[in-house]
Structure 1
Amino acid sequence: MKKYNIKVLGLCETRWNGNGQTRLSSGDTIIYSGHGDMDHDHTQGVAPLLAPETMRALVAWKPVSPRLMAARFNSKGRKTTIIQCYAPTNVAQEEEKEDFYSSLQSLLDQTPRRDMKIVMGDLNAKVGDDNTGKEFIMDRHGVGICNENGELFTDFCSFNDLVIGGTIYPHRKIHKITWTSPDGKTDNQIDHFTIDRMWRRSVRDVRARLGADAASDHQLLVATLKTKLRSFCDCRKTTPQVQHIVSERQEKIEEFNCEVRNRFEALADLAEETLENHWTEVQKTWKEACTSPGEERERAEGVVDEGNLGEDREERDETGNQQISLSTDEGRPQSTVLEAELRSEEERKA
């Protein structure tokens, strides 16, 4: 992966049962999908191998079957969904092929509409170099002649508006072939990389790399894509303190709504004498509902109630000295009354 600067490496025939993810000693992470029964024969299986920066951009992944799985990544502009496939061979039964493409279509339909969709893997399909009637999904740079699997695959691409990347670029034949038989006499282009037609210009190149040490009869198919992955952070996950505050606010909102509803139901039973009286009752209902017992206690701790305005109160000046002002029965400070009496007495003397 480091040699070719690969960020997502799709693997087929991993032959691992179950599904999960494993972090390798190299720092890369592999997420895999196989048979649900752990005692099943170790066959089939698909698994994308993710670089550390790609793993940080992973939003979600979904194992579907030993032949299908999907992974969604956060990228610049929009999300990117990659579907890793391992299709039945050309000699497989028709029912098995139909089940595979039916599951693949269902998985693609579940993908968000605005995502950049990529379908890749070992499709076991020869699409050939004849693109008559298929100009929108492929070019004339394929290899060989289209077979039965190739027809199913091209019909699937035409229906979903996917472009087959291996047929677009005019490379030499050795850079198009993805599989070679053990005797070296047969070679085919059966591994494919497809992408939404609206994102076709994002693909810079698709070619097979012969120098990759893959220990397989398949060649490494590398697609160069013009996109930028971004680390994903699930903002919906809040800290316990924030969750506690949100829950308290929600409880207060529910209590307030219940209180207002109850009071207005009681108000509806009263006879409406005049419009002014009715408006007075509505205002009174709102004020009483907004003044819950808990809020009254909070105000009593830090704010002077209106009923205590006639009582004595203590204040501190800017120097920190304590000032005491006594209130008269008329609600006017005694110091103000004394000053008024002194002024009137001076006027009489004058």
Structure 2
Amino acid sequence: MLTDVRKTDRLNLMDQRGLRTSTWNVLTPNAPASKNLLSEELRKNKVSITGLTETRLTGCGEERIGNSDSLLWSGGSTRRNGVDLALNSLARKALLLHEAVSDRLMKARFGHKHGKMTVIVCYAPTSNSGDVTKEDFYSALSRCLATVLPP
């Protein structure tokens, strides 16, 4: 699912504090207080954009977490795998589009004062996974990378 959030202005994601990104294997944010805890941790660590893996959320969507942060997710039909992007309010305003590629891949594009930036969150299968699962994932990743536009 591709969601286009066209903006006419670019926000300054890279101000004097800098852009801080992170990744986190959270093993599901489904508990009632876990999304607020996630928002608090992002704020405490001054993180703008976080790629989350193994979130186990179904479907795809967006919701507000904490006071002003956002959570975008890409999951399958079962509570397995799943990737998310947690964005602070500034990163959410700079979001141009996001695409839920699969339960293991999500792509987002941001505008900033230097141009545009693409973020891909991926949750690769382990080496114990079957060959078909690994081939499907890496084929999807290759297709996703091929669609990344230049800055």
The alignment-based identity, stated in percent, is 38
SS at match of 1:99: helix
* 1:5 counterpart residue number: 46
Kindly provide the CA deviation profile for residues 102-153 of structure 1, in whole angstroms up to 9, marking residues without a partner as x.
10010110111x23xxxxxxxxxxxxxxxxxxxxxxxxxxxxxxxxxxxxxx
* 2:135 counterpart residue number: 98
SS at match of 2:67: coil
Q: Output the CA distance in 2 between the equivalents of 1:23 and 1:106.
A: 30
In the superposition, the TM-score normalised over structure 1's length comes to 0.31
* 1:75 counterpart residue number: 112
Following superposition, the deviation at residue 75 of structure 1 comes to 1.3
Kindly provide the CA deviation profile for residues 285-320 of structure 1, in whole angstroms up to 9, marking residues without a partner as x.
xxxxxxxxxxxxxxxxxxxxxxxxxxxxxxxxxxxx
AA at the equivalent of 2:136: D
* 2:83 counterpart residue number: 46
Q: Output the CA distance in 1 between the equivalents of 2:121 and 2:136.
A: 16
Q: Output the CA distance in 2 between the equivalents of 1:17 and 1:85.
A: 16
Listed as ranges, the matches of 1:159-178 within 5 Å are none
Following superposition, the deviation at residue 33 of structure 1 comes to 0.4
Which ranges of structure 1 fall in alignment gaps of 5 or more residues?
116-350
Q: Output the CA distance in 2 between the equivalents of 1:95 and 1:102.
A: 10
Q: Output the CA distance in 2 between the equivalents of 1:111 and 1:87.
A: 19
Kindly provide the CA deviation profile for residues 189-239 of structure 1, in whole angstroms up to 9, marking residues without a partner as x.
xxxxxxxxxxxxxxxxxxxxxxxxxxxxxxxxxxxxxxxxxxxxxxxxxxx
Q: Output the CA distance in 1 between the equivalents of 2:143 and 2:136.
A: 11
Q: Which runs of 4+ in 1 moved over 6 A?
A: none
* 1:56 counterpart residue number: 93
For the pair shown, the structure with the greater C-alpha radius of gyration is 1
Following superposition, the deviation at residue 26 of structure 1 comes to 2.4
- Residue 56 of structure 2 corresponds to residue 19 of structure 1: no
* 1:65 counterpart residue number: 102
How many residues are aligned here?
110
Which ranges of structure 2 fall in alignment gaps of 5 or more residues?
1-41
Greater strand content = 2
AA at the equivalent of 1:88: P
Change (3 A) 1:25 1:4: closer
Higher RCO, Cα 8 Å, sep 6+? 2
Listed as ranges, the matches of 1:78-157 within 5 Å are 78-112=115-149, 114-115=150-151
* 1:34 counterpart residue number: 75
Following superposition, the deviation at residue 25 of structure 1 comes to 3.0
Query: What is the aligned-residue RMSD (CA, Å)?
Result: 1.0
Following superposition, the deviation at residue 3 of structure 1 comes to 2.2
* 2:24 counterpart residue number: none
AA at the equivalent of 1:3: K
AA at the equivalent of 1:6: V
SS at match of 2:101: strand
Following superposition, the deviation at residue 69 of structure 1 comes to 0.6
In the superposition, the TM-score normalised over structure 2's length comes to 0.70
AA at the equivalent of 1:66: D
Greater helix content = 1
